[in-house]
């Protein structure tokens, strides 16, 4: 067990910044993460924490050949833009990004093409929201005229 006997991990309360909280409930997700519901021992407020294992994600090889670290927040921002004003929850976006990150880690490779990540996003958005999928596809697939966009929409309607 982590932390002190019976006290759990030291976690600052987001309300009063006190260091002592107690765990009320713990649940696990299918990616190895742990969600804990906590109560601050100083002010009594409740809050949740999420712990996930730190696994190595591969470097992303960009189209110009440069390499950069996988950036979870950058991926979330890109997907959020595609999902703007659509009925897609923040939890759905987090779940999709978590699935992509887990899939990249499971590959066990030190480097992966940005195309692999883009393909995963495309597949996930296609299931999540077709309008968000088309928005992302316009940029990712380089659909630069109405005919190519219409072809992609027709493909969606046929499936």
- Going from N- to C-terminal start, the domains of the chain cover 1-53, 59-158
**CA–CA distances in Å: residue 10 to residues 3, 4, 25, 84, 98:** 7, 8, 16, 37, 25
| Average of per-residue pLDDT across 93-110 | 92
Percent of the chain, pLDDT > 90?
72
| Average of per-residue pLDDT across 111-131 | 94
The secondary element (H helix, E strand) that includes residue 113 is strand 111-113
Long-range contacts of range 45-49, CB-CB < 8 Å, 24 or more positions apart? 45/13, 45/14, 45/15, 45/16, 47/13, 47/14, 47/15, 47/21, 49/11
Q: Does residue 92 register a pLDDT over 50?
A: yes
Q: Does residue 3 register a pLDDT over 60?
A: no
Matching CATH number, 1-53, of 2.40.160, 3.30.70, 3.30.1490, 2.20.25: 2.20.25
**CA–CA distances in Å: residue 93 to residues 37, 49, 140:** 22, 18, 18
| Average of per-residue pLDDT across 111-137 | 94
Of 112 and 11, the structure prediction assigns the larger pLDDT to 112
* Complete DSSP assignment for 45-110: -EEEEEE----PPPEEE-TTS-EE---HHHHHHHHHHHTTTSS--HHHHHHHHHHHHHHHHHHT-S
Q: Which candidate, 38, 131, 33, 121, places its Cα nearest to that of 88?
A: 131
Q: How many angstroms separate the CA atoms of 155 and 130, rounded?
A: 11
Q: How far is CA 140 from the centre of its chain?
A: 18
Q: Which candidate, 131, 122, 71, places its Cα nearest to that of 96?
A: 122
């Amino acid at each position: 067990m982590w932390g002190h006997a019976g006290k759990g991990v030291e976690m600052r309360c987001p309300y009063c910044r006190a260091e002592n909280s107690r765990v009320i409930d713990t649940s696990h997700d299918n990616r190895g993460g742990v969600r804990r519901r906590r109560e601050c021992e100083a002010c009594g407020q409740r809050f949740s924490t999420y712990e996930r294992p730190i696994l190595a994600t591969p470097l992303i090889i960009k189209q110009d050949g440069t390499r950069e670290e996988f950036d979870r927040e950058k991926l979330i921002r890109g997907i959020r833009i595609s999902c703007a004003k659509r009925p897609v929850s923040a939890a759905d976006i987090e779940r999709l990004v978590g699935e992509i990150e887990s899939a990249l880690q499971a590959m066990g490779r030190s480097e992966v093409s940005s195309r692999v990540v883009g393909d995963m996003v495309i597949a996930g958005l296609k299931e999540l929201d077709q309008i968000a999928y088309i928005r992302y596809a316009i940029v990712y697939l380089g659909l630069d005229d109405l005919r190519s966009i219409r072809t992609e929409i027709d493909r969606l309607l046929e499936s």
